[in-house]
A and B are shown apart, each in its own frame.
Chain A
Amino acid sequence: MNETAPIISIRGVTKRFGPVTAVDDVSLDIRPNEFFALLGPSGCGKTTLLRMLAGLEVPSAGAILIDGHDVTGVPPNRRPVNMVFQSYAVFPHMSVFDNVAYGLRVVKTPAGEIEPRVREALAMTQLEGLAARKPDQLSGGQRQRVALARALVKRPKVLLLDEPLSALDAKLREAMQLELVRLQHSVGITFIIVTHDQNEALSMANRIAVMEAGQIRQVARPAELYEYPNCRFVADFIGKMNLFEGRVVACEDARVHIEVKGVGRLALPADQIVAPAPGSEVGVAVRPEKIRLHREPAPEGRVRLRGRVSEVAYFGDASHVYLVLEGGPKISANLQNEARTAVPGVVAGDELWCSWDPNDTLVLTR
């Protein structure tokens, strides 16, 4: 796709804290001008990886290249990257202007150059008029803008953002997501964001690396990650997922037959699946929004199962319907509330059919 040289190249990087391995032999290339997200549950090593890019942690093994230069042992103050900290770390004893100017002053930028560059950064982050304020006179969102302006004024090759939106309330968070994307377009540099919030990653990033236990499980574009997760962890971590365990019983007629516990035998088109050998244990997964509910038996050609509604969670635009299948397992389906009605169409206790297109089924070997 994009064959330009990577702006950041992480090669076999491991970080150990005493007996704990926080980052375990990670290799990853990040391309210029990408909005890249490191996504994972807390404790997966994503922040440690980001801090190693900033130079705030030194890898126990491996190498980090920024723009082709090995920076593995280079201290943070001599790297062409800047960081927006989770706590913002806006200096409380300096005004907004001084905070933003700090990074220019410490590297002895000519005095005449400082003021225009600070003004430019303040304008970019919509902080004009607040230059004289002290941080304790700012809201959380404004403090974050100061942290952003302070990093961007340095014109880094890569901007690192450590959970930048976690301390904001939901409304502000959504607005900041859009603004960060806009900002990334306008400054045209690589953004690397660390987040545990999959919605944040899916809506903002061009590519996402999902991390678990210090390792990268999958690197993909958002839609690919959502629709084609490569392992049970990613499938379960991103979005909602109905995940069953099964065993491959046969491969014939371009179909893979899988015996799923409590569900029965499914025949799935083989071209969707990376040929699992008969006898192997696999995860069988389907997204709730891919499932339809029917009063009558569903049409031929779809995966059809019968069950009884156990719960209906109403969300206004949609309802989540939980079915207990005849074989025992639970399955959830999304029901779009398309027609206006005050009386829900589906209630607990209903006997229903659910069905989905076999092509929407995921078979996970890991």
Chain B
Amino acid sequence: MDSWRKNPVVFWALNLPPTIWLVVFFIIPLGLIWVISFGEKRGVVDIEITWTLDNYLRALDPLYLGIFWKSIWMAFLATVVCLIVGYPVAFAIAFAPSRWKPLLLLGLMVPFWINILIRTYALIAVFRTRGYVNFTLEWLWEKAHAALTLIGIDPTWLLGARFDPLQLLYNNFAVNLGIVYAFFPFMVLPLYANIEKLDRTYMEASLDLGAGHWRTFISVVLPLTWHGALSGIIIVFIPALGAFFIPDLLGGTDSQLIGNVIERQFKSANDWPFGAALSFLLMYATFGALALRSLIAGRKQGLEI
């Protein structure tokens, strides 16, 4: 790493463009937003930087704190669901016959090639009252109805007089489902990479020593693939925390997340200073999560992250 001293021209030729890119398109805009978060609105477009803390104090209003808390909770829930569903999926791919593996990974990746908005609208088509889930349930209901009538049991008592489609959209369930659906591959891929790397003989040794499959998973697989899980947790949790169009499209009136509030400040409410303050609070929360992760990972193995 000290070769740059010997060859400064090459070093700068290679590193200047990305540095400029980062400074111009990341550091400066971020700094601007940070500065704006200490500003006050003067008229429609003018913002005066007065270094006031009012925006932050306003963000600490119970109303916004509640939304913050709810966002963290929803992101946490989605992360847990991704983790619980992701492990078996990652396992299945890692242990699939090698000619199936590329296909399965492709199946996981293909949705990435389609715009997330389109995929979210597709979810609406699947889950709305006249959507495919309800069509399937209705079909099952009719079959069950017919079968019960056939064997002489009155179906009304068991199944009701007619099929009531389930209200699957425009509630918190739908938002959670949408977030899980959008970020699921981010959980599976690092898990898969870790499980794939895991020496199978550890599992064989555990079985050989008398442990069942479940015990082997808890005592051997989980501790040895924990780093993949941690990476997955972080890269699902952080974007889930900032999600805004998923609750917009799939959520109901009570499904507002912090992402929606921020988006509204910058757009319809035209209150950039407040939006900037909320953004930075969200970022600090994210930093907190990352610090927590490093702490856990560091204690676990003393490994570098």
Contacts and interface: CB of A to CB of B under 8 A. Distances in A.
A34 B245 CA distance: 71
Contacts of B219: 102, 106
Interface string A77-98: 1100011010101011100000
B212 A77 contact: yes
A83 B205 contact: yes
A283 interface: no
B242 to A, nearest CB: 34
A76 B208 contact: yes
Contact of B210 (A54, A87, A92, A107): A107
B204 interface: yes
A77 B211 contact: yes
Contacts of B207: 55-56, 75-77
Interface string A32-64: 000000000000000000000011100000000
A93 B227 CA distance: 12
Interface in A272-308: none
Contact of B201 (A55, A85, A107, A151): A85
Contact of A103 (B202, B209, B212): B209
B224 interface: yes
Interface in B189-209: 199, 201-202, 204-209
Interface string A199-228: 000000000000000000000000000000
Please classify the interface of chain A as helix (H, G, I), strand (E, B), loop, or mixed, using the class held by over half of its residues: loop
Contacts of B208: 54-56, 76-77, 82-83, 151
B223 A93 contact: yes
A85 B204 contact: yes
Nearest to A106: B211
A87 B200 CA distance: 11
A106 B223 CA distance: 16
A51 to B, nearest CB: 8
A145 interface: no
Contacts of A83: 204-205, 208
Please classify the interface of chain B as helix (H, G, I), strand (E, B), loop, or mixed, using the class held by over half of its residues: helix
A107 B210 CA distance: 6
A242 to B, nearest CB: 41
A15 interface: no
A143 interface: no
B3 interface: no
In this complex, the interface size class of chain B, counting residues with CB under 8 Å from chain A, is: 10 to 19
A56 B209 contact: no
Given A56-B204, A83-B205, A91 B220 contact: yes
Contacts of A89: 199, 201-202, 204-205
A76 B216 CA distance: 12
Nearest to B201: A89
B215 interface: yes
A83 B301 CA distance: 27
A154 interface: yes
A157 interface: no
Contact of A93 (B211, B215, B301): B301
A196 interface: no
Contacts of B199: 87, 89
Contact of B215 (A75, A91, A106): A106
Contact of A92 (B209, B215, B224): B224
Interface string A149-163: 011001000000000
B123 to A, nearest CB: 39
Contacts of A106: 206, 209-212, 215, 219
Contacts of A78: 210
Contacts of A103: 209-211
Contacts of B209: 77, 82, 102-103, 106, 150-151, 154
Nearest to A86: B201
11 contacts: A54-B204, A55-B207, A55-B208, A77-B212, A78-B210, A92-B224, A93-B224, A103-B210, A106-B212, A154-B209, A154-B210
For the complex of A and B, 7 pairs with smallest distance between CB atoms: A103-B209, A89-B205, A106-B211, A89-B201, A76-B207, A93-B223, A107-B210
Given A77-B211, A87-B199, A106-B209, 17 more contacts: A54-B208, A55-B207, A56-B208, A77-B212, A82-B209, A85-B201, A85-B204, A87-B201, A89-B204, A93-B301, A102-B209, A103-B211, A106-B206, A106-B211, A106-B219, A150-B205, A154-B210
